[in-house]
A and B are shown apart, each in its own frame.
Chain A
Amino acid sequence: EVQLVESGGGLVKPGGSLRLSCASSGFTFRSYSMHWVRQAPGKGLEWVSSISSSGNYIYYADSVKGRFTISRDNAKTSVFLQMNSLRAEDTAVYFCARMILVGATAFDYWGPGTLVTVSS
Chain B
Amino acid sequence: SSELTQDPAVSVALGQTVRITCQGDNLRTYYGNWYQQKPGQAPVLVIHGKNNRPSGISDRFSGSTSGNTSSLTITGAQAEDEGDYYCGSRDSDDHLMFGGGTKLTVL
A: residues with CB less than 8 A from B are 35, 37, 44-47, 50, 57, 59, 61, 95, 100, 103-108, 110-113
In the complex, which residues of chain A have a beta carbon less than 8 angstroms from the beta carbon of B96?
35, 47, 50, 59, 105
A50 touches B52 (CB 8 A): no
Q: How far is the CA of A24 from the CA of B33 in the complex (A)?
A: 23
**Set of chain A residues within 8 Å of B30, measured between Cβ atoms:** 104-105
Q: In chain B between 78 and 97, which residues have their CB closer than 8 angstroms to a CB of chain A?
A: 84, 86, 88-90, 93-97
5 contacts between A and B (CB under 8 A): A44-B98, A57-B94, A59-B95, A104-B52, A107-B88
Contact status of A95 and B42, CB under 8 A, knowing A100-B48, A107-B88: yes
Residues of A within 8 A of B67 (CB): none
Known contacts A47-B96, A59-B94: does B31 contact A104 (CB below 8 Å)? Answer: yes
Q: A45-B43, A45-B86, A95-B42 are contacts. A108–B94 as well, Cβ < 8 Å?
A: no
Give me the 8 closest cross-chain CB pairs, A-B, nearest first: A106-B48, A106-B33, A104-B49, A110-B42, A47-B96, A45-B98, A44-B101, A104-B48
Q: Measured between C-beta atoms, what is the minimum distance from B23 to chain A in Å?
A: 15
Tell me the complex Cα distance, A68–B40, Å: 25
The CA-CA distance from A44 to B22 in the complex, in Å, is 14
Is there contact, CB below 8 Å, between B48 and A103? yes
| CB atoms of A112 and B48 under 8 A apart | no
Task: For B44, list chain A residues within 8 Å (CB).
Answer: 110
In the docked arrangement, what's the CA distance between A18 and B44, Å?
27
In the complex, the answer to whether B43 meets A110 with C-beta atoms within 8 Å is yes
Contact between A44 and B42, CB atoms less than 8 A apart? no
Q: Which residue of B lies closest to A61 (CB)?
A: B95
CA–CA, A35 and B43, complex, Å: 14
Q: State whether A106 touches B45 (Cβ < 8 A).
A: yes
Contact B99 A108 (CB under 8 A): no
Bitwise, B16-44 to A at CB < 8 A (1) or not (0) is 00000000000000110101010001111
